[in-house]
Amino acid sequence: MVQKSNVVTPEMNTQSVIIVPDVDLEELIQEVVRASNRGVSAARNVSGEPNWSFGQSLFFSSTVVTTIGYGHVTPLSKGGKVFCIVYAMLGIPLTLILLTALVERLMVPATSLLQFLNSRLGHLYQPFNIRLLHLFLIAVILVGVFVLVPAGVFATLEPEWDYLDSLYYCIISLTTIGLGDYIPGDSPNQPYRPLYKVGTTVYLLVGLTFMMLTLTVFYDIPQLNFGLFFLMRSDETTGDPEKARLQTPGAVGPKYTQQLDDGRRAVVRVKSRRDDSPSPEDTTPIHTFTKKQAQNRNLVTRRALSQSQDFSLIGASCSAKVQLITALSARPESSSTGEPIKYQISAHAQYCQEQHTALLSVVKRFEIAR
């Protein structure tokens, strides 16, 4: 109901004022808020783009299958809700499979980086420290490329966002929290809105893939896998039939090669029994080295490699001395004293060469076993 009033105040330039009842004004405000929550801006709505454009639809689909779910745009019809349910039930598992496959591909260069760090720093630091450095480098790439740089881009493109708002949006989105209080591309005068939405969709998919890669690298470090602390003792043994049989008193099983602290291996051979034949349920004859044995193996490998390099240098030095003595022995005045020294140094050089070859074979055998 609309009423007219003839009251004139100094601030008014017209003779009549339209008065809207409180109930109608409250309904209008609720409708505007409801439309704004669904991504429809009340400002300049006549000239605005449709709410379900291709870019907006693609952005909504990506937030559904990646479980981000901002909630600013939702289907209203019953058919749309049913389709969204079916699409989410099929799309979420397939998206997880796709992201897992991409992470497996990215683990190849990540593993190459870890091997490079081991080759450069393996003789200086422990494997755990090298893995921490590897994880730190992957996390730096994640934060720099997928958080800090996109936050600066969003702060430039969004007129009402500062850098903190953009940083907040990137972290909330890549962690799949998706609060929905900040949505890129929803300002009324946003240019190239469909293209902007498609670019944001690509950023979310690539960023989530690299986030999963970082978590995979973190999970591969046994010392940081805190989930092991929540396992029961029964869970640690029943998962491996061979381990359960070895821990059972009086159980009969195959004997394995034991790694000793000084690098030697003691092999215990036993006569085969009928009870030792593997059963159909037990198909795990592979021995898993313990943490202590693995550390001893790495230590022996590094020592053998270091000693091999020392013997190689000594052998090269002896070879140079042999050549020098040979040249001096050619003189008549030094032939009587040069031959014994030449023979001794030659024998020492041959010994160093044999030690160098033997230690290299030890290193190669340990690398193959590892």
* Mean pLDDT, rounded, for 30-48: 67
Q: Work out the burial of residue 309: count CB atoms within 10 Å of its CB; fewer than 13 is exposed, 13-18 middle, 19 or more buried.
A: middle
Q: Is the pLDDT of residue 25 over 50?
A: yes
Domains of the chain in sequence order: 51-227 (1.10.287.70), 304-319+345-369 (no CATH)
Burial of 264 (0-12, 13-18, 19+ CB in 10 A): exposed
Least confident of 66-70, 166-170, 267-271, 332-336: 267-271
Q: What are phi and psi of 196, to 5 degrees?
A: -65, -40
> What is the model's pLDDT at position 359?
66
**Residue with token string 């896998």:** 225
Q: Could you give the residue ranges of the DSSP H alpha helices within 122-221? A: 127-143, 149-157, 163-174, 193-219
Instruction: Quote the mean pLDDT of the chain.
Output: 75
Query: What are the Cα distances from residue 84, in Å, to 87, 92, 98, 102, 176?
Result: 5, 11, 20, 25, 18
The span from the CA of 21 to the CA of 4, in Å, is: 11
Could you tell me which residues come within 8 angstroms of residue 64 by beta carbon, excluding any fewer than 6 positions away?
A: 84, 87, 88, 91, 92
Report d(CA 178, CA 183) in Å as an integer.
10
Give residue 111's pLDDT: 93
Least trusted range by pLDDT, from 48-52, 202-206, 230-234, 269-273: 269-273
Give kind and range of the element (H or E) at residue 235: helix 233-238
Residue with tokens 């994640």: 142
Among 63, 101, 89, 100, CA closest to 203: 63
User: What is residue 13's three-state secondary structure?
Assistant: coil
Q: Quickly state the pLDDT bin for 354 (edges 50, 70, 90).
A: confident
Are residues 203 and 183 in contact, defined by beta-carbon separation less than 8 angstroms?
no
pLDDT given for residue 233 in this prediction? 59
Residue 85 has pLDDT above 60, yes or no: yes
With 0-12 / 13-18 / 19 or more C-beta atoms within 10 angstroms meaning exposed / middle / buried, residue 170 is buried
Q: 117-157 pLDDT, tens per residue?
A: 999 988 889 989 999 999 999 999 999 999 999 999 999 99
Asked whether the predicted pLDDT for residue 74 surpasses 50, the reply is yes
